């Protein structure tokens, strides 16, 4: 491992010479002077991940049922026009909101997954363990499966009004659950209690939803199942700021918890002995996760897998345990995963669209397995 | 008299219960930890050693009374201030696999760093000082999961040192370590107490090491605490009392625990030195009683051309043996 670090260590100085951007220069002066060279590796990786994400964002705008040349995408983005009006329209009105939604959702899920895994000290923890997304699914199930004929007609039309109704139902369900979780979080002593309560709440909701499904009409069941597949296409350019502000707020709150998260890697007793206010840390972590998850679930449905995979991916690639590096890393890994999945789900050059949740796990699981196996091989 | 680093006033420790009487493990504790001293906390299992340490570290609330750190009540201290006054090492060292030794020790600087936990020049210096103090400089760049239990525990102690708190509490830090590592850790703690002027309280089951290294012992038993220099507690029977139980007792002469057994057949071992000592231990282990004057059998060590040889005499009949095991077998064969 130290060999690897050594090999990559000359990279920053090359970077500074060739690019010489202000940020890189400030960084290199501060960090290179003060620290051993192997600590620079994570920064370089974060930079590479950002570049990869940037390219994926452009690709996501270019690819779809109609392929648009990259330079036309850039011109549409920068000047608001391209060679064909249709291209500008597709890129800016349809693909831009979808791409940005995918990125925001990925960042939110990656970050909240990291918070949960560190807080519960459990590699199987994920953003949904708090039960917030279960609450959202119950809200959606209630609306979709029990609403009157008019509601169904609206849904069948699949206009924005129908989407808005689903978003509101999911948001209400998630918001109410979030309040419940926060209330519980202030009252309990052990974080394990919170984990188990969240899981039990999930089972409870799942069985309620099953009950609703059992008595529901087939076409309504289809509408509900479509929601559970997840989608980044439901967010309009007008709704995007709402999602963005929730995600930004959640991430900012998460950023204030990095010190506590670092202390918590040694367990609650040690964290406390090193000056962590456990009660406050728990509230900050739960609030941040609940905000991120409820916003994403309300707008995109329950996006599976990214929340558990992105933190593993990020640790596997960065190989550090400092959350000042891991948090942005998990955001980037999550965003890369969701934007990738969103591109692939569209099956470029084809009119078919696959369910999003099928793609995330189908393609993501092997990648995570590879990363984890590589990590364990290094152990021998 | 100097100000104690830590002091308790009528402290009662235990666990509160709803609708039932609290479980009180010890009460009316008035203890003092002085700077520069290594204190050993000993007592049988389940007597409340860990509860006491957790209460002193403010990880749990006392049932009654107060814990004062340099005069300040811990129940009113902010977590950050508490961490600057008191550091903690627990039995099992956690294994955050991807962390390096340096990063682990640097966690000890969290109470001193800004909201992001960034390290200043001073923090770096403090971490390096702590690593040097426990002779773990070479572990700084190594990844934790590649280290042994002993090396990790050393780093945990360095982390507590880097916290630069006047008091260090350790809850059975050597429980999972082998004997040489246990000796090393206790010596290290003694040296740290002397060199850095910290007040160090360590709970341990290793009576022998505590007797050899600690400046003071706290013996906790059935709700009461005996405090004194190790030797005084050995001489006045405090240790014997604390660890009194079926079939085992503290032998004041040897300073170790001895297994009590109904006296068996007396056997005399002539001579002194290492070999004679080990022969006596072998006899004791097998239920014989050593008798310095006369026995149903006597054993002596003879030197002949090929090396030492045991001469066993039973009712006037002499047999020669090359090893302790052979002697024991011969005794058994003779029906003794």
Q: What is the pLDDT of residue A33?
A: 41
Contact A34 B90 (CB under 8 A): no
Q: Which of A270, A311, A375 to mutate to test the interface with B (most CBs of B within 10 A)?
A: A270
Alpha-carbon A10 to chain mean position: 32
Asked if pLDDT for residue A146 goes beyond 80, the answer is no
Cα distance between residue A35 and residue B201, in whole Å: 35
Q: What is the pLDDT of residue A154?
A: 53
β-sheet bridge partners, residue B251: B256
Cα distance between residue B207 and residue B218, in whole Å: 11
Query: Which residue in B has a C-alpha nearest to residue A255's C-alpha?
Result: B116
Q: What is the pLDDT of residue A12?
A: 38
Set of chain B residues whose Cβ sits within 8 Å of the Cβ of A267: 94
Task: Give the DSSP letter of residue B94.
Answer: P
Distance from CA of B151 to the nearest CA of A (A): 16
Alpha-carbon B15 to chain mean position: 25
Band (B307; pLDDT cuts 50, 70, 90)? confident
Least confident piece of the model among A210-214, B96-100, B177-181, B197-201: B96-100
Summarised one tens digit per residue, pLDDT across range B50-64 is 999 999 999 999 999
Band (A162; pLDDT cuts 50, 70, 90)? low
Tell me which residues of chain A, numbers 289 to 318, contact chain B at a CB-CB cutoff of 8 Å.
315
Q: Which of B98, B104, B125, B127 to mutate to test the interface with A (most CBs of A within 10 A)?
A: B98
Summarised one tens digit per residue, pLDDT across range A96-133 is 999 999 999 999 999 999 999 999 888 888 888 888 88
Summarised one tens digit per residue, pLDDT across range B1-34 is 567 899 999 999 999 888 888 889 988 999 999 9
Name the residue among A259, A269, A274 with its Cβ closest to that of B115.
A259
Asked if pLDDT for residue A16 goes beyond 50, the answer is no
Summarised one tens digit per residue, pLDDT across range B221-241 is 887 899 999 999 988 888 888
Asked if pLDDT for residue A14 goes beyond 60, the answer is no
| B65 touches B11 (CB < 8 A) | yes
Set of chain B residues whose Cβ sits within 8 Å of the Cβ of A262: 107, 110, 117
Band (B250; pLDDT cuts 50, 70, 90)? confident
Set of chain A residues whose Cβ sits within 8 Å of the Cβ of B120: none
Band (A262; pLDDT cuts 50, 70, 90)? very high
Contact B146 A256 (CB under 8 A): no
Asked if pLDDT for residue A7 goes beyond 60, the answer is no
Contact B107 A322 (CB under 8 A): no
β-sheet bridge partners, residue B170: B89, B202
Residue by residue, DSSP assigns A288-351 as HHHHHHHHHHHHH----SHHHHHHHHHHHHH----HHHHHHHHHHHHHHHHHHHHHHHT-TTSS
Contact A38 B141 (CB under 8 A): yes
Name the residue among A275, A320, A321 with its Cβ closest to that of B82.
A275
Contact A274 B110 (CB under 8 A): yes
Cα distance between residue B246 and residue A220, in whole Å: 73
Residue by residue, DSSP assigns A79-125 as HS--SSHHHHHIIIIIIHHHHHHHHHHHHHHHHHHHHHHHHTT-TT-
Pairs of CB atoms within 8 A across A/B: 77
Distance from CA of A49 to the nearest CA of B (A): 20
What's the burial of B334, exposed, middle or buried (CB within 10 Å: 0-12/13-18/19+)?
middle
Contact A263 B98 (CB under 8 A): no
What's the burial of B228, exposed, middle or buried (CB within 10 Å: 0-12/13-18/19+)?
middle
Least confident piece of the model among A314-318, B149-153, B276-280, B289-293: B289-293
Cα distance between residue A329 and residue A332, in whole Å: 5
- DSSP H/E element including B81: helix B79-85
Asked if pLDDT for residue A59 goes beyond 90, the answer is yes
Q: Average per-residue pLDDT in chain A? A: 82
Band (A153; pLDDT cuts 50, 70, 90)? low
Name the residue among A1, A38, A258 with its Cβ closest to that of B116.
A258
Contact B57 A273 (CB under 8 A): yes
Tell me which residues of chain A, numbers 247 to 286, contact chain B at a CB-CB cutoff of 8 Å.
256, 258-259, 262-263, 265-267, 269-270, 272-278
Q: What is the pLDDT of residue B97?
A: 67
Name the residue among B90, B117, B121 with its Cβ closest to that of A269.
B90
B283 contact partners, CB below 8 Å, separation of at least 6: B267, B269, B289, B290
Band (A36; pLDDT cuts 50, 70, 90)? very low
Q: What is the pLDDT of residue A15?
A: 35
Q: What is the pLDDT of residue A261?
A: 95
Q: What is the pLDDT of residue A47?
A: 94
C-alpha distances (whole Å) from A360 to each of A48, A282, A345 are 22, 29, 9
| B207 touches B234 (CB < 8 A) | no
Q: Average per-residue pLDDT in chain B? A: 88
Asked if pLDDT for residue A19 goes beyond 70, the answer is no
Mean pLDDT over A319-337 rounds to 94
Band (A376; pLDDT cuts 50, 70, 90)? low
* B157 vs B91, more confident: B157
pTM to 2 decimal places = 0.82
Task: Name the percent of chain B lying above pLDDT 70.
Answer: 97
Q: What is the pLDDT of residue A340?
A: 94
Contact B121 A256 (CB under 8 A): no
Q: What is the pLDDT of residue B228?
A: 93
| B38 touches B215 (CB < 8 A) | yes
Contact B96 A265 (CB under 8 A): yes
Contact A34 B121 (CB under 8 A): yes
What's the burial of A206, exposed, middle or buried (CB within 10 Å: 0-12/13-18/19+)?
middle
């Amino acid at each position: 491992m130290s060999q690897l670090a050594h090999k990559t260590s000359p990279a920053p100085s090359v970077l500074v010479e060739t690019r010489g951007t202000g940020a890189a220069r400030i960084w290199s002066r501060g960090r290179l002077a003060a620290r051993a060279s192997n600590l620079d590796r994570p920064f370089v990786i974060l930079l590479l991940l950002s570049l990869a994400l940037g390219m994926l964002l452009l690709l996501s705008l270019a690819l779809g049922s109609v392929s648009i040349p990259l330079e036309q995408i850039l011109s549409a983005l920068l000047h608001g026009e391209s060679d064909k009006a249709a291209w500008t329209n597709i890129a800016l009105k349809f693909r831009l909101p979808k791409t940005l939604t995918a990125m925001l959702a990925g960042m939110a899920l990656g970050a909240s997954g990291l918070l949960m895994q560190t807080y519960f000290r459990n590699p199987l923890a994920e953003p949904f363990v708090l039960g917030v997304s279960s609450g959202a699914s119950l809200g959606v199930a209630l609306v979709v499966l029990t609403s009157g004929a008019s509601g169904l007609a609206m849904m069948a039309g699949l206009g924005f009004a129908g989407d808005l109704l689903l978003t509101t139902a999911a948001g209400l369900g998630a918001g109410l659950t979030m309040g419940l979780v926060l209330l519980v979080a202030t009252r309990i002593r052990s974080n394990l209690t919170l984990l188990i309560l969240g899981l039990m709440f999930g089972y409870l909701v799942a069985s309620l939803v099953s009950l609703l499904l059992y008595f529901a009409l087939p076409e309504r069941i289809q509408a509900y199942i479509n929601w559970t597949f997840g989608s980044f296409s439901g967010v309009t350019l007008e709704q995007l700021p709402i999602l963005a502000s929730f995600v930004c707020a959640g991430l900012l709150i998460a950023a204030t918890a990095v010190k506590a998260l670092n202390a918590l890697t040694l367990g609650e007793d040690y964290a406390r002995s090193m000056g962590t206010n456990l009660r406050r840390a728990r509230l900050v972590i739960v609030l941040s996760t609940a905000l991120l998850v409820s916003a994403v679930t309300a707008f995109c449905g329950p996006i599976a897998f990214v929340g558990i995979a992105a933190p593993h991916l990020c640790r596997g690639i960065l190989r550090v345990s400092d959350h000042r590096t891991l948090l942005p890393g998990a955001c980037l890994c999550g965003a890369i995963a969701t934007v990738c999945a969103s591109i692939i789900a569209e099956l470029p050059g084809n009119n078919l669209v696959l369910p999003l949740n099928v793609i995330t796990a189908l393609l993501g699981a092997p990648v995570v397995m590879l990363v984890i196996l590589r990590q364990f091989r290094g152990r021998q | 008299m100097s100000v104690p680093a830590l002091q308790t006033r009528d402290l009662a420790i235990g666990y509160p219960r709803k609708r039932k009487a609290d479980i009180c493990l010890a009460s009316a504790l008035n203890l003092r930890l002085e700077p520069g001293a290594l204190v050993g906390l000993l007592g049988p299992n389940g007597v409340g050693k860990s509860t006491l340490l957790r209460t002193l570290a403010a990880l749990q609330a006392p049932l009654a009374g107060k814990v004062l750190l340099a005069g300040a009540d811990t129940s009113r201290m902010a977590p950050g201030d508490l961490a600057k006054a008191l550091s903690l090492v627990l039995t099992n060292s956690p294994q955050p696999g991807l962390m390096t030794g340096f990063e682990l020790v640097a966690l000890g600087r969290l109470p001193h760093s800004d909201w992001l936990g960034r390290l200043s020049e001073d923090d770096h210096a403090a971490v390096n000082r702590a690593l040097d103090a426990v002779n773990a400089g070479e572990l700084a760049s190594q990844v934790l999961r590649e280290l042994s239990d002993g090396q990790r525990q050393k780093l945990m102690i360095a982390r507590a040192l880097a916290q630069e708190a006047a008091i260090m509490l350790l809850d059975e830090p050597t429980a999972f370590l082998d004997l040489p590592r246990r000796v090393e850790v206790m010596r290290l703690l003694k040296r740290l107490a002397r060199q850095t002027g910290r007040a160090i309280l360590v709970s341990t089951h290793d009576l022998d090491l505590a007797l050899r290294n600690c400046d003071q012992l706290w013996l906790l038993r059935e709700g009461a605490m005996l405090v004194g220099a190790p030797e005084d507690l050995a001489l006045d029977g405090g240790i014997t009392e604390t660890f009194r139980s079926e079939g085992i007792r503290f032998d004041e002469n040897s300073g170790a625990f001895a297994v009590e057994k109904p006296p068996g057949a007396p056997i005399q071992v002539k001579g002194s030195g290492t070999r004679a000592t080990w022969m006596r231990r072998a006899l004791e282990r097998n239920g014989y009683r050593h008798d310095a004057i006369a026995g149903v059998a006597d054993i002596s060590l003879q030197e002949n051309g090929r090396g030492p040889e045991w001469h066993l005499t039973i009712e006037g009949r002499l047999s020669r043996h090359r090893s302790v095991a052979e002697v024991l077998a011969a005794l058994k064969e003779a029906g003794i």
